[in-house]
Amino acid sequence: MNKTKRYGAGLLLILLTVFWMIIASSISLIELIIGVFASLLIVLYSMDMVFSKDEMTSFSPRTVRALFILFIRLIIEIVVSNFHVAKIVLSKKLPIDPGFETIRQPLKKDLNKTLYGNAITLTPGTLTVDMTDEGIIVHGLEKHSVKALEGSKLEQAFMNLEGLNHD
């Protein structure tokens, strides 16, 4: 195992263990041991998927900045979508045009593709149904809202994370 892979696995182990301690009902020695063991199993299980040469993103200030911007952008999109869906649902006319639309898949790394699909599903009013290398099939309350995902700030944030955009 190379140095980068060990570093990434160690960092993931620490993050998962800290997450375990945060959600644990109490912090005792036995719960800490169980948390470390469970975290270790997750790291070992996901080693080839997350830490493959093609999937790893280099850890740099640019990556940290891109992750921070992505997180903020996702929170903003979730809040805005919540208000938009509430407006639709509370409208007497219920102005929806539900359906499936295929949007392009601009990302190259499988992990980022999965995270992007999950981010789309997290935003109210949209649901990622299927993904291919070329496109993502999304069901939405409004077809035009689904099409608006192409070129959106959320898509740009994921492309920045992958290094496909240079801002």
In a domain, 56, yes or no: no
| Residue 26 domain boundaries | 3-50
For residue 78, is it within any domain? Answer: yes
Tens-digit pLDDT profile for residues 44-55: 888 776 666 666
107 and 42 both lie in a single domain: no
How do the pLDDT tens digits run along the chain, 167 residues long? 666 677 778 888 888 998 888 888 788 898 889 989 999 999 988 877 666 666 666 667 888 888 899 999 999 999 999 999 999 989 888 888 899 999 999 888 888 888 899 999 999 999 999 998 779 999 999 998 899 999 999 999 999 988 866 55
Is residue 113 located within the same domain as residue 65? yes
The string of pLDDT tens digits covering residues 62-82 is 888 888 999 999 999 999 999
Virtual torsion, Cα 83, 86, 87, 91, nearest 10 deg: 180
| Co-location of 35 and 112 in the same domain | no
Q: Domain check: are 91 and 155 in the same one?
A: yes
pTM of the prediction? Answer: 0.72
Please tell me the predicted confidence (pLDDT) of residue 127: 95
pLDDT of residue 22: 86
Q: 102 and 34 share a domain?
A: no
What torsion do the CA atoms of 49, 7, 54, 57 make, to the nearest 10 degrees?
Answer: 110
Supply the DSSP string of 56-93, one letter for each residue: PPP-SHHHHHHHHHHHHHHHHHHHHHHHHHHHHHHSSS
Average pLDDT across the chain, whole number: 86
* CA–CA dist 96, 164 (Å, integer): 34
Query: Do 112 and 30 share a structural domain?
Result: no
Together in a domain, 82 and 142: yes
Number of domains observed in the structure of the chain: 2
